[in-house]
Homo-oligomer: A and B are copies of this chain.
Amino acid sequence: MANKSEARQKKILVTGFDPFDGQKVNPASQAVFKLPDEISGAAVIKLEVPTVFGRAAQVVREAIIKEQPDCVLCVGQAGGRACLTPELVAINYDDAGVPDNAGQQPVEQVIQADGQAAYFTQFPVKKLVSAIRKAGVPAKVSTTAGTFVCNHLMYQVQYLREQEFPQLKAGFIHVPFVPEQVTRRPNSPSMALATIVKGLEAAIAVIVEN
């Protein structure tokens, strides 16, 4: 276990989207920047990505080239969900109910003409859920990342992996609204930022130890 190649510290790139759809905050990027710089011995590189079809993937690709991470975890907001949801799969399909932050609103579009219909994450989603719950945070596996920029980025990172970075492991976790976003939508579930951060830490520990 102590040979030279293992002496290199593992590295995980964790991305969070900027606010979109008129929101002032995005709990995804807020949570990402509250993560510690090291989890289970791995270096945690944090990156905010624009909520923009296409551009989001370019920004992540540049960071992968620069940082050479072992894993990429993208984090996004899923308003209306009550718990953390590691995503199982991303599909080759953009369909935006609202414009992205560059005003784009693709309808029923293929993301990559030569990409697969879908890509599964390399992360063990059930283990992630167990670890998040053990940390006291509600979680369940999700089988849809939607059809907006979240699914888009999850798909694009997998496509990049297939095309350029075959060693990479990648995946996505959706997080709920924070309470501040839903003070006037009192029936909408939310989760405190500190709870989200705790859950993400537990998930990242599993990711970097696998």
A59 on the interface (CB 8 Å rule)? no
Chain A interface SS verdict (over half): loop
Smallest distance from the beta carbon of A81 to chain B beta carbons, Å? Answer: 9
Contact of A133 among B83, B137, B184 (CB under 8 A): B184
Minimum distance in angstroms from A112 CB to a CB of chain B = 13
Q: Is A140 an interface position by the 8 A CB rule?
A: yes
Residue of B82, B88, B139, B179 near A138 (CB, 8 A) is B179
Interface size on A, residues (CB 8 A): 42
**Contacting residues, chain B, for A136 (C-beta < 8 A):** 179-180, 183
C-beta contact mask, A17-48 vs B, less than 8 Å → 1, else 0? 00000000000000000000000000000000
B-contacting residues, A127-147, CB 8 Å: 132-133, 136-140, 142-144, 146-147
Asked if A98 is an interface residue, CB under 8 A from chain B, the answer is no
A122 within 8 A of B: no
CB-CB under 8 A for A186 and B91, given A116-B116, A194-B192: no
Residue of B nearest to A182 (CB): B138
A89 at the interface (CB under 8 A from B): yes
* 19 intermolecular pairs with C-beta atoms under 8 Å apart: A82-B182, A82-B186, A82-B188, A83-B182, A85-B186, A91-B120, A93-B120, A116-B117, A117-B120, A138-B186, A138-B190, A139-B183, A139-B186, A140-B186, A143-B146, A144-B144, A179-B191, A189-B189, A191-B192
